[in-house]
Structure 1
Amino acid sequence: MCTRVVWPDAGGAVVVGRSMDYHRDLATNLWALPRGVDRSDGITDALRWRARYGSVVTTAFDMISVDGMNEVGLAGHVLWLAESEYGEVDRNRPALSQAVWLQYFLDVFATVAEAVDWVVENQVQVVPLTDPASGEVPAIHLALDDATGDSAIFEYIDGGLRVHHDRSYRVMTNSPTYDRQLELLREIDAWGGDRPLPGTTAASDRFARATYYVERLPAPRSQVEAIASMFSVIRNTAQPFRMPDPGRPDVSQTIWQVVADLTRRRYVFESSTRPNIVWVDLDGIDLSDGSGERMIDLGGGLAVVDGLAGNVSGEFRQTDGLRFLTLAAVESARSAP
C-alpha cells in the first residue's frame, strides 16, 4: 500500500507526491497545527516538546498524522512496511508512538539532515500501538523530504533502526525493505538489467515505475504544470478498487493522493471518490502561536453540492485540537468491558 515520489528539480521547486492505499476508509481530514503547541511521545511522556513550526497534516481517524508538510518545507509520509519490527523499548532512549512519529519531525525540524542527525545520535525508538477500533497493529516506515531536495527513509527491521539518507532516494513504496528495493531496481533494463519495466501493482513494480517516470518528467513551465506532472506519476502507481483481503493489508486500493510543493509550500489533496481537488497554501493560513488547531472535514466537506474545491486555505474551522492516540488510551480501551 502507498507510493511516495520526490521530484527535486521541478522547475526550480521540490515537489513530492504520495498515494494512500488502504483496505478501509481512514476517516481522513486535513488539519492546520500552529506553532507553540505542547506535545509528548504518547508512551511514557518522557519526551515532551513545544512545536517550533506550524504544519498542515493529513490524518487517519483524527489520531495519527500520516502525511504532512511544515511551514519551512519539511514534509513526511507514513507508508506500510510489513517487515517492520520495532524491538523492545529501552527506557534510556527517546521513544515515539507511531501516532506522533511523523508529527514530531514536522514540529521540531526544518531539514531532513537535522532530523537524521537527531535520530541517529539518540537511536530513537518507535512504539507500535493497536488501533482500538480494528485491533490492527500498523507496520509502518517513514519518509522525510525537504525544500533542499534531501530525502531520508526510516525503517525498523529485526528490532533495529535503519536509516537510508541520500538525495537520490526519490521513491518509496512497501515490501520488501528499502535496500532490497534498490537491488530489484537493478534487474530492470532501464538500470542495466534484463527485465522490462513491470506493470503490476506489486510494491516493487510500483517502485520501478515511479522511479522510471519521475526521472523522465519534462521541465514544468509553471507550478500548476509541476503539480499536474507529479499527479501523473502518482496516478500511474495507483491501485484499483478491489475486494478487501484482511490478511493482506498491503494489497489495497488507492483512497487518496497528495502532491506538495515544498518550495512554494502548497499542499494538494485528491480523493479517489470525489472529483474535487483541494489545496492549502501554507503562506495563506495563520500558524502562529495561539492561533488554534483547525480542521477541514474531508468526509463531509468535499461533496460536489458543497462547492468545496480549489484553494481551501480559508476553510479550516476551529476545533478542540488533534488528540493523538496514546499507549494509555490503547490500554484503557483494552481493559474496558
Structure 2
Amino acid sequence: MCTRVVWPNANGAVLVGRNMDYHRDLGTNLWKLPRGVERNDGVTGHMTWTAKYGSVVAAAFDMITVDGMNEVGLAGHVLWLAESVYGSFDESRPALSQAVWLQYFLDNFSTVADAVAWVEDNGVQVVQLADPESGEVPALHLALNDAIGDSAIFEYIDGKLDVHHSSDYLVMTNSPKYEEQLALLAEVEGFGGDLPLPGSTLASDRFARASFYVGRLPQPATQLAAIASMFSVIRNAAQPFRTPDPGKPDASQTIWQVVADLTNKRYVFESTTRPNIVWVDLADLDFQEGSPELVLNLGSKLSLEGGIAGNVSTKFEDAGPLRFLTLAIIKQLAAAKAAAAQ
C-alpha cells in the first residue's frame, strides 16, 4: 500500500506527499499531540519517554500513527512492505510496537540524521501487533524526511534492519525491498536504462512514475502552487477503486492522500471518498506542555453536505488522549473474545 514522494526544492520549501492505499477504511482521524506527553513502547512498557515536540498525526482507528509531522518539520510515513521480517523479540534490546514506531521519532527528533543515529546506536527492534478486529498482522516499513530535505527509509529484512539514508531517496512505495526498487528504477529511460516509463499499479511502476514526475515539476510561485504540484504527482501514483487482489493489501485502492509542507509547517489532507480538502497550519495550534490532546474527526466532519473544508486548525476537539494499541490491549481483547465464545 501507498506511495511517498519528497520534493526537496519547491522554491525554497521541502514538500512531501503520500497516498494511503488499503483494502478497507482505516477510520483515520487527525490528532494534535502536544509536548510533554508521557508514552511507552507498547510492548513491555520498559521503554518510556516524554514528547519533546508536538505533532499533527493521521491515526488509523485512533490507535496507530501512520503519518504525521512535528512542529519542527520532521515528517514520517508508514507504508506496507510484504518482505518485512522483524526477527524474534529480544527483551535485552529497546523495542517499539508498530503503533508507536513513527510516533517515537516525531516526539523526539528534529532531523533525520539524529533519528538515524539513535536507531543505529540503540539497535531498536519493532514488534508486530495483530489487528484486534481482523487478526491481520501488518508488515511495514517507515520513511522519515525533514525540513532540510534529508530522507531515510527503515526496513527490517530477514530480522536485520536496513537503513537507507540519503537526501537522494525521494520516493518510496512497497515491494520489493528498497535496494531492489533502486535497481529496477535504473532500468527505466531517464534513470540509466532504456525501458519506457511504466504505467501499471505495481509498486515498482509507481516508484518509477513518481521519481520521473517529481524531478520535472516547475518551480512554484506560491505555496498553493507547490501543494497543487505535489498532489499532481501523488495522484498519478494513486490506485483506482477496485476489488483488492486476494492476499495483497499492498495492491489496494487509494483511500486518502496527504501533502505536508515541512518548511512552512502546513499539513494537507484529502479523502478520496469525501470531496473536501482540509489543512492544518501548525503555527495555529497550541503544542505547549499541558495543553490537551485534540482530535479532528474526519469521518463525521468531511460529509458531502455542509462538511468542513480549508483551514481546520480551529476545528479540533477534546475527546480525551490518543490511546495507542499495545500488546497488553491485544491480549485483553483476545481473552475477552475467547471468554465470550465459551
Same fold (TM over 0.5): yes
Q: Which residue of 1 aligns with 2:47?
A: 47
* 3-state SS, counterpart of residue 251 of structure 2: coil
* Equivalent AA in structure 2 for residue 330 of structure 1: I
2:294 aligned with 1:294? yes
- The residue aligned with 2:31 is 31
Partner of 1:252: 252
8 Å contact from structure 1 (residues 198, 205) kept in 2: yes
Q: Runs (4+) of structure 1 moved beyond 3 Å?
A: none
Q: Deviations over 1:180-221 (max 9, x none)?
A: 000000110111212100000000000000000000100000
Write the distance in 2 (CA, Å) between the matches of 1:274 and 1:131.
Answer: 25
What letter is aligned with 2:319?
A: T
Instruction: Specify the SS of the correspondent of 2:254.
Output: strand
Higher mean C-alpha deviation, range 137-146 or range 298-307: 298-307
Alpha-carbon spacing, 1:307–1:248, altered in 2? closer, same or farther (3 Å): closer
By how many angstroms is 1:304 displaced?
3.3
**1:181 alignment counterpart:** 181
The structural deviation recorded for 1:29 is 0.3
2-structure distance, mates of 1:46, 1:217: 46
Partner of 1:89: 89
Where does the alignment leave 5 or more consecutive residues of structure 2 unmatched?
none
SS in 2 for 1:286: coil
* SS of 1:318 mapped into structure 2: coil
Partners of 1:304 and 1:134 lie apart in 2 by 29
- Alpha-carbon deviations, 1:127-152, whole Å to 9, x = none? 00000001000000000000000000
For the pair 1:142 / 2:142, whether they are aligned, the reply is yes
Aligned 8 A contact 1:269 1:278 in 2? yes
Paired residue type of 1:44? T
Query: How far apart are the structure 1 equivalents of 2:120 and 2:128?
Result: 19
Q: Deviations over 1:54-86 (max 9, x none)?
A: 000001101000000000000000000000000
Distance between the aligned counterparts of 2:164 and 2:192, measured in 1? Answer: 22
Q: Deviations over 1:83-126 (max 9, x none)?
A: 00000111121100000000000000010000000000111100
Number of residue pairs the alignment of both structures matches: 337
CA shift digits 1:153-192 (9 cap, x unpaired): 0000001100000000000000000000000001101112
Q: Matches of residues 126-165 of structure 1 in structure 2 within 5 Å?
A: 126-165=126-165
Q: Which amino acid in structure 2 is aligned with residue 326 of structure 1?
A: T
| Preserved CA contact (<8 Å) 1:23 1:245 | no
Q: What amino acid is aligned across from residue 116 of structure 2 in structure 1?
A: V
Question: Which residue does 1:235 correspond to in 2?
Answer: 235
Paired amino acid for 2:226: A
- In 2, distance between residues paired with 1:139 and 1:76? 16
Q: Are 2:317 and 1:317 equivalent residues in the alignment?
A: yes
Distance between the aligned counterparts of 2:109 and 2:306, measured in 1? 36
Q: In 1, Cα distance between the equivalents of 2:2 and 2:229?
A: 18
What is the CA–CA distance in structure 1 between the aligned matches of 2:70 and 2:116, rounded to whole Å? 17
1:189 partner SS: coil
- Counterpart position of 1:66: 66
TM-fit CA distance, 1:305: 2.3
2:279 matches 1:279: yes
Q: TM-score, normalised by structure 1?
A: 0.99
Instruction: State the shift of 1:53 in Å.
Output: 0.3
Unaligned runs of 5+ in 1: none
Percent of paired sites with the same residue: 70
Distance 1:177 1:187 in 2: 16
Are 2:54 and 1:19 aligned?
no
Whether the 8 Å CA contact 1:34–1:286 is kept in 2: the answer is: yes
Please report how far the alpha carbon of residue 246 of structure 1 lies from its aligned counterpart in structure 2 after TM superposition: 4.3
Note the aligned Cα RMSD (angstroms). 0.7
- For normalisation by structure 2, the TM-score amounts to 0.98
Q: What letter is aligned with 2:52? A: R
CA deviation after TM superposition for structure 1 residue 243, in Å: 1.0
